[in-house]
Each structure stands twice: as C-alpha cells, then as structure tokens.
Amino acid sequence: MRALVVRLDSFGDVLLAGPAVRAVAARSAHVTLLCGPRGADAARLLPGVDKVLVWESPWEGFDPPPVTPADIDALLGRLRTGSYDTALILTSFHQSPLPTALLLRLAGIGRIGADSVDHPGRLLDVRHHRAADRHEVEAALDTAAALGFPAPAGDDGRPRTLPPPDTAALTGPGPYVVLHPGASAPARAWSPDRCEEAVALLADAGHRVVVTGGPDETALTRRVSGRVAVDLGGRTGARTLAGVLHAADVVISANTGPAHLAAAVGTPVVSLFAPVVPAARWAPYGAPAILLGDQSAPCAGTRARTCPVPGHPCLDEVTGQDVVRAVHKLIQERPS
C-alpha cells in the first residue's frame, strides 16, 4: 500500500503528527508526507517518512499564496504520479480538511480519512470526530486508527526524530541548559528582558547556557546571550538544532517548534506557555515538562497572534527565578 499523510501547517504541527505517521508506515510499503514550507524541515526528521512533498497551501498560514489554476494543476500532477492508495489528512481542531480532501479526490486517491466537523459529502471515506481537548498527538493517532492504521505494538506514541547528530563542537564541552527566546507569534513569546534575566540567573546558579534562534532572530539571541551564554542564533538547521536540544539538560522555550523538538528528542522542557491556545492540546508531549504562565488569563483560547492584554501579563509575570526553579526541579527529577 502506498500512503499519503498530509499536514500543511507549521514545524511543530508536523512533529506532533509523527506518531500518526509511524502508525501509517507500519502498515504501508511507502509513505509520502505532504507538508507546507514551514513544516518541511520537521517532515525530514520523522521516522517512517519515505518521501516529502512540499506545497504551500492557499488556506494555511498567515500570508497564504493566491489560488491559481497552474499551481493546483501542478500539485494534482505530483499527486497522481504518486499512485497513492489511501490518504490521511491531519489538521488542528479549528482547521477544515475538506479543501485538501477535494484535491486528493481529484488526484484519484481512492480512500481518504480526516477529522471533520463539517459534512464531507463524497470527499471523505472516513470522517472521524476527535474527543474534546484531546492533545494534537493523540487526536492524530485517533484519526489514523479510524482510517485503519492503529499504533503499532510496542510504539509508545510519543513524538520522536531520526537520531540527532553530535553537536558538541557547537555547544562546547560539559552540560548546559538551552534557552530559545523566539516564538512563532508575539503573543507566545517571553519578553527579551525576562529572557536576559533568566540567562543571568542561570549563569549565577552555575549553569552553562546556550541560546538558540533562527536566522531572523540573531539580534534577539545576541541580546539575550549577553556575555554569559553561547549564542547559536542563525547557526542551526533543524537537524543540528535537534542535536543541540538532545544534549541539553533542560530546554526553556515558549510554545513554538523547538519546544516540541526538545520533547521529541527526549529532553525536559520548561514551557513558557501563553494560553492563547489550550495547553491540553499543545503542551510539549512525551517528555517531562513544567508549564509556566497564567492559563486562566483573559487571552485564553483567543488564538491571538499579538497579546490583547496590556503588559502581556500571562507570561511576563513569570520571573527569571521562576524559570531557574523549574530548571532545577527537572534536572533533579531526570534519570541519570
């Protein structure tokens, strides 16, 4: 059986789809993952993926491309070439799988399943309804099982990656803690002042600190690192970042891709979690984690990209000392 799994949104979303991908791979001869540009690097880290197709969907992301016949025709051609027997469409609770299902049906894929609250007509063969407040990992596994791909025996159902590389040449010798100050949306980010405070306090407590960030976050990582932390801003691709996070004692991050990557490589996470999306669905999964942030703040459940409350209190009332205490707790509880 040749199977297609679709997850069109971000890096973290694709990582959380990993256990469902493994479930599909256990009963398929070949698995292709169709994802968007923001999720492509994560897709290439997932066990069970034989091929990655990248396509920027007009109904995903914050600045989607226009709908053009040429783009749709090109995608349909690529899908037809794959000769897929079945397709699993994975979405978040607020996203509809039906536009994707229509294209897969036009591409000739015979059996299609997804989680959908809308009547699918002839677009879906299996219409699953997720349980309320189910974590994204579990909801994806449930949808895969409904399509005939239960989790394989012995699989723990946790996100994981292909083996990460040794990155000691980047991080330097000895144990360290990672702080990732950036986030995919301003409403999810801890302030730079608080990040600087945490780095200084962690260094005072005897920790080596490594600061990570993407190519567009180098000014932020330089500021947060100061003179006391190793600044890796702009110096780590996805696979290298997996290695850096894997070797860390603890990772400190907002609700963004590297938090999920840290959990996927088995590293404990101090999660600075803004409640704009529910922690029950989006907290780091499968590794020890401590959530910091007011989960009952007025912004809860709004999915806001920019904080609607002056002063961003849900996160900025979390202090650097709060983070240091959480780091120490996770280190003490981590098996040797």
For residue 42, tell me if it sits in a domain. yes
Distance, CA of 235 to CA of 220 (rounded, Å): 14
The reply to whether 132 and 266 lie within a common domain is no
For residue 286, tell me if it sits in a domain. yes
For residue 159, tell me if it sits in a domain. no
For residue 309, tell me if it sits in a domain. yes
Paired tokens of 203: 């260094």
Distance, CA of 193 to CA of 301 (rounded, Å): 26
The reply to whether 138 and 174 lie within a common domain is no
The reply to whether 231 and 312 lie within a common domain is yes
CATH of the domain at 177: 3.40.50.2000
| Boundary of a domain, candidates 146, 178, 200 | 146
- Tell me whether residue 227 is exposed, middle or buried, using C-beta atoms within 10 angstroms of its C-beta: 0 to 12, 13 to 18, 19 or more: exposed
| Boundary of a domain, candidates 146, 181, 205 | 146
The reply to whether 179 and 31 lie within a common domain is no
Q: How many domains does the chain have?
A: 2
The reply to whether 43 and 180 lie within a common domain is no
The reply to whether 128 and 69 lie within a common domain is yes
| Boundary of a domain, candidates 113, 146, 179 | 146
The reply to whether 195 and 60 lie within a common domain is no
Residue for token pair 């299996």: 126
Q: Does residue 259 contact residue 15 with C-beta atoms inside 8 Å?
A: no
For residue 154, tell me if it sits in a domain. no
What does each of the 336 residues of the chain score in pLDDT, given as a tens digit?
A: 999 999 999 999 999 999 999 999 999 999 999 999 999 999 999 999 999 999 999 998 888 999 999 999 999 999 999 999 999 999 987 889 999 999 999 999 999 999 998 899 999 999 999 998 899 999 999 999 999 999 999 999 999 999 999 999 999 999 999 999 999 888 899 999 999 999 999 999 999 999 999 999 999 999 999 999 999 999 999 999 999 999 999 999 999 999 999 999 999 999 999 989 999 999 999 999 999 998 888 888 888 888 888 888 889 999 999 999 999 999 998 776
Distance, CA of 245 to CA of 270 (rounded, Å): 13
The reply to whether 142 and 256 lie within a common domain is no
For residue 158, tell me if it sits in a domain. no
The reply to whether 141 and 221 lie within a common domain is no
Alpha helices in the chain (DSSP H): 11-16, 18-25, 40-43, 69-82, 98-106, 136-146, 168-171, 192-204, 218-225, 238-246, 257-264, 279-282, 313-316, 320-333
Paired tokens of 153: 């025996």
For residue 124, tell me if it sits in a domain. yes
Distance, CA of 216 to CA of 83 (rounded, Å): 39
Q: How many CB atoms lie within 10 A of CB 250?
A: 28
The reply to whether 23 and 88 lie within a common domain is yes
Residue for token pair 């025709």: 73
Provide the residue range defining the domain that includes 190.
168-333
The reply to whether 142 and 220 lie within a common domain is no
The reply to whether 216 and 280 lie within a common domain is yes
Cα dist from 293 to 189, 279, 329, 332, whole Å: 11, 10, 17, 22
Q: Could you give the dihedral angle defined by the CA atoms of residues 245, 249, 255 and 256, in that order, rounded to the nearest 10 degrees? A: -10
Distance, CA of 284 to CA of 135 (rounded, Å): 10
For residue 161, tell me if it sits in a domain. no
pTM here? 0.96
- Tell me whether residue 119 is exposed, middle or buried, using C-beta atoms within 10 angstroms of its C-beta: 0 to 12, 13 to 18, 19 or more: exposed
